[in-house]
Structure 1
Amino acid sequence: MKDVPVYTKSQLALRNGQDKPQIWIAFKGVIYDVTDSRLWKNGKHYEHWAGQDLTLELKDAPHSSSVFERFKVIGILG
């Protein structure tokens, strides 16, 4: 993944839909923008909160990692 910015965990944490209007999540080191997803309103998706790395939580999800393909890549988690 070339030419994408690197963000820290602290920067990602601010994009939780409450501290800043953006709603971002990370999966396997890639940060996705889920702001426009109706399933992530107010930064929450079922029991999951935005602004964090959800890699370990995917095992409990009823979907596969292919769900991330529909979202824009914002950067990588450094």
Structure 2
Amino acid sequence: MLPVFTRSQLALRNGSDRDEIWCAYAGLIYDVSTSRLWRNGQHYEHWAGQDLTDELTDAPHTDSVFARFRVVGRLG
């Protein structure tokens, strides 16, 4: 069973003061720390540490991109 994290806990993993860079999508939280595209917690106009579900419609890719990353928890 995956641990549940609050939005506040997710916000702490934004890449600015911790090594962890996390993003949520569709209720799951992904560790995107290994992606060169998420350096410093920013990916184009998107920021880590938040739920990106509603922002995916603006992306040039589908949600299949999340399959590359480890799921670390659920957004509660």
> Could you say whether these structures have the same fold, taking a TM-score greater than 0.5 normalized by the shorter chain as the test?
yes
Alignment length (residue pairs): 76
Q: Distance in 1 between matches of 2:67 and 2:11?
A: 21
Which consecutive residues of structure 1, in runs of 5 or more, have no partner in the other structure?
A: none
- Per the alignment, residue 4 of structure 1 pairs with 2
- Identity fraction in percent: 68
Root mean square deviation of aligned Cα? 0.5
CA offset digits 1:7-62 (Å, max 9, x no partner): 00000000000132100000011000000100000000000000000000000000
Q: TM-score with structure 1 length normalisation?
A: 0.95
Which consecutive residues of structure 2, in runs of 5 or more, have no partner in the other structure?
A: none
1:18 aligned to 2:16? yes
Q: TM-score with structure 2 length normalisation?
A: 0.98
Q: Distance in 2 between matches of 1:32 and 1:12?
A: 10
